[in-house]
Every structure is written in C-alpha cells, then in structure tokens.
Amino acid sequence: MYNPNTGRAWLEVDLENLSHNAAVLQEAMPPKCQLMAVVKAEAYGHGGAVIASHLNKLGVSAFAVATIDEGIALRKRGIRGDILILGYTDPERANELLDYDLTQTLIDFAYAQKLSGMGLSVKAHLKIDTGMRRLGIPCENLADIKEVFRMKHIRLWGMFTHLCCAESLTAEDTAFTRGQISGFYRVVNSLKKEGLPIPKLHLQSSYGLLNYPELQCDYIRTGIALYGVLSAPGEETNLKLDLRPVLSLKSRVVLLRDLKSGESLGYDRRFTAARNSRIAILPIGYADGFPRALSQGKGSVLLNGRLAPIAGNICMDQLAVDITEIPGVKIGTVATLISAEKDSLSAPQVAFHAGTISNELLSRLGSRLPIVIA
C-alpha cells in the first residue's frame, strides 16, 4: 500500500474540491434537476469507489458508468442510489442487472426487444439519437419509441439524448445543438400527446450544462466538470463556474545523474546534452498512463517550484527530466506531473501538450497508481 515516505508514484485526490464542485454544479442546475455523477473509467482515473462513496455521503444518489462490471464493482463497494449503465450490456446478463439493481440504457430498438425478451423486467433508460449517430433510437422513429414504452419486461424510468458538440459556441455548432435539443423535446411532446407517462429526462453532460444551463430536465450527467477541469485549456463557456481540480499526479526522484555535454540518454538516444547537464530519474512511465507523447521536452514536471523539461523518450516505467537549472533536487524530492494548483500543469494543459483532451489523459491514469486522499 501507499506510504507517503516510500511511494513511487501516486494520485492525490482532493475530496474537498470534489464536494465544492458537486455543490457548484448542483447550484447551477434548474430547480428539481439532479446531478448524475458520471463515474465511468474509475471516475476518470480518480478512483470509482472513492469518488462515488464520497458523493453518496454528500447526498448524490444518481450515478452513471459505462459497463455493467463497473456498476457491479460500485455495488460491491456499497454504493447506494441509481446506477445507469450508459453502454451495451449483453441481454444474457439481464439477471445481473436485477441482482445488482442496475439501470440499463436501451441503445436501440432491436436491443430493447431483446432485453425485454429476457422476461425479467429490467430497469432502463431509453436513449434517443438526436444527431450524434452513435447510440439510441433516431428521434424521427416515433413509432419505435412509443413501442418501447409498451414493452412488457422493460421498466422505463428515464429517457435521454447526448449532445455531440455542446462545447462549441460557433454559430453552426450552436444551431446543430439547438436542433438536437428540439428533436428531443419533440419526442417528449409527442409522448405526452398520446398520454404516455413521461419518465425522467436528461440531455446535458458537462458542456451541456455550461453552455445550455436553462434546459428543463431531471438530471444532468456531469463527468469532467465534476472533476474540476474542462477538456482543453482556455475554453469559453456561457456559464463560468468556480470549478476546482480534484486530481494531482506525483512521483519521487529516485536517481540523479550527470551527463557530459554531447552524451545521449534513453531509448533511441532522443536526448543529447547540449551542455554538462543534471538529470533526475522518476519511476513513472506510460504504463501508468502518463502519455509518451510528452517525450522530448513536449512535457515538463514541477520540482522545487520550477518546471523541468522531460528529457528523451518516456519509457514504460521511468522517465528522465533535465534539472540542470533547478537547484536543490535530491533523491526523494517530490515531482508533480499533473497539478490541481499550477495552471501550466493542469490536466487540460498537460493533455493539450500530449495532443489530446483531459478526459483521455485522466481516464487512462490509475491502473497501477495508488490513490491518496489529500
């Protein structure tokens, strides 16, 4: 287990910031709308059970995961409330949906038929495709949608859609999103006209809330914003909320070495010392989820309050940083690789330098890293 004096590399999770974000997000939602905490992929690398049980204590009682096994893992850790599986579950596992009281997304009409055909009365939310063209019954197929409402062994508790460009404020993308929103409410109104019972409705994720906060709904599915960051640095949103990053990634110097000018370092000799240089070795690599794309100076780490560029190629389990200009680095000095405090090492910034978004960076962390509650 993790020991603060011997740890090799670890994730620090700030639960106070998580509480703060949950409160700020809930406050920004319309009255009666509830936060559905998206805790798929180990809560975006923050530790699924740690995050969900803290949220449970705060009174959050709606969660979303990607897979049935993520849902089962949360139940085994004692998580209470509704857990919605956003992705596909083989209908053969319908009994497990019941055993663990999990709610399944109906990803299209044929899937709903198969699941109902299992004869087990599973809890479900129906997904409506309003333009993303990934999962869901197209919003134009009203006959199919209505038939799902009449399926014998489906207990339909919710209906939702997913906005695919809610982060963009360009005129074209805003018009597209408005089209998705009206497509969804057209379905709702048509169901109302037929006298069908309207289940819980939800259509926004983090950016949906930040850019379209006024929509009437029962839940907002918040992932990335709950963890206190946006996907990319410097993004504009209509709502500006005081969100605070929850995660930091840290490691510890295990070796120092001096390179003479002209000496090379690491795989493929991708770093050559341009002067006599001092290098620190950190025992963390891409197998921990730290992107190899940050090799050769594209990324830096914080040591003694200064940024040290990554030297050469990041390895599976180690990386080297150039500390020639940073005094006082010793064996045992803690390095910050993703920071909850320093903007230049925020998850969106680090992700940007790695050519990706913070969602990918964060969700890939963790399989080998212990989680420490800050």
Cα(160)–Cα(128) distance, integer angstroms? 6
The answer to whether residue 32 is catalytic is: no
Among residues 87 and 283, whose Cβ is nearest to ligand PLP?
A: 87
**Structure-block tokens of residue 227:** 């963890």
Q: How far is the CB of 249 from ligand PLP (least distance, A)?
A: 19
* In the complex, minimum distance from the CB of residue 299 to ligand PLP, in angstroms, rounded to a whole number: 23
Q: Which residue in the list 40, 123, 127, 200 is annotated as catalytic?
A: 40
Helix pair 142-149, 171-193: axis angle to 10 deg: 50
Cβ contact 166:208 at 8 Å: yes
Least distance (Å) between residue 329 CB and ligand PLP: 36
Residue closer to ligand PLP (CB basis): 225 or 302: 225
Contact criterion met (CB below 8 Å) for 219 and 34: yes
- Contact status: 177 vs ligand PLP (CB under 6 A): no
Q: Does 221 bind ligand PLP (CB under 6 A)?
A: yes
Among 117-125, 203-211, 242-250, 263-271, which window interacts with ligand PLP (CB under 6 A)? Answer: 203-211
φ and ψ of 302, to 5 deg: -95, 125
Residue from 116, 130, 206, 358 binding ligand PLP (CB under 6 A): 206
Residue among 54 and 162 whose Cβ is closer to ligand PLP: 162
Which three-class secondary structure string do you get for the chain? CCCCCCCCEEEEECHHHHHHHHHHHHHHCCCCCEEEEECHHHHHHCCHHHHHHHHHHHCCCEEEECCHHHHHHHHHCCCCCEEEECCCCCHHHHHHHHHCCCEEEECCHHHHHHHHHCCCCEEEEEEEECCCCCCCEECCCHHHHHHHHCCCCEEEEEEECCCCCCCCCCHHHHHHHHHHHHHHHHHHHHHHHCCCCCCEEECCCHHHHHHCCCCCCCEEEECCCCCCCCCCCCCCCCCCCCCCCCEEEEEECCEEEEECCCCEECHHHCEECCCCEEEEEECCCHHHCCCHHHCCCCCEEEECCEEEEEECCCCCCCEEEECCCCCCCCCCCEEEEECCCCHHHCHHHHHHHCCCCHHHHHHCCCCCCCEEEC
Of residues 86 and 314, the one with the C-beta less far from ligand PLP: 86
Binding window for ligand PLP (CB under 6 A); candidates: 15-23, 185-193, 217-225, 329-337: 217-225
Nearer to ligand PLP, 136 or 309 (CB): 136
Contact with ligand PLP (CB under 6 A) among 205, 211, 349, 363: 205
Residues 224-243 that bind ligand PLP (CB under 6 A): 224-225
Window of 26-34, 76-84, 202-210, 364-372 that interacts with ligand PLP by CB under 6 A: 202-210
- Cβ-based nearer residue to ligand PLP, 165 or 307: 165
51 binds ligand PLP (CB under 6 A): no
Question: Does 260 participate in catalysis according to the annotation?
Answer: no
Q: Which of residues 324-363 bind ligand PLP (CB under 6 A)?
A: 359
Mark the segment that binds ligand PLP (CB under 6 A) among 114-122, 223-231, 268-276, 322-330: 223-231
Residue nearest to ligand PLP (CB): 223
Contact status: 222 vs ligand PLP (CB under 6 A): yes
The minimum distance between CB 219 and ligand PLP, in angstroms, equals 10
Token pair for residue 251?
């490691």
Query: In sequence order, what are the beta bridge partners of 34?
Result: 219
Residue 223 near ligand PLP by CB under 6 A: yes
Are the C-beta atoms of 102 and 69 separated by less than 8 Å?
no
> For ligand PLP, which is the closer residue by CB, 206 or 295?
206
Residue 321 interacts with ligand PLP (CB under 6 A)?
no
Q: Taking CB under 6 A as the rule, does residue 131 contact ligand PLP?
A: no
List residues near ligand PLP by CB under 6 A.
38, 40, 86, 162, 205-207, 221-225, 359
Catalytic residues: 40, 267
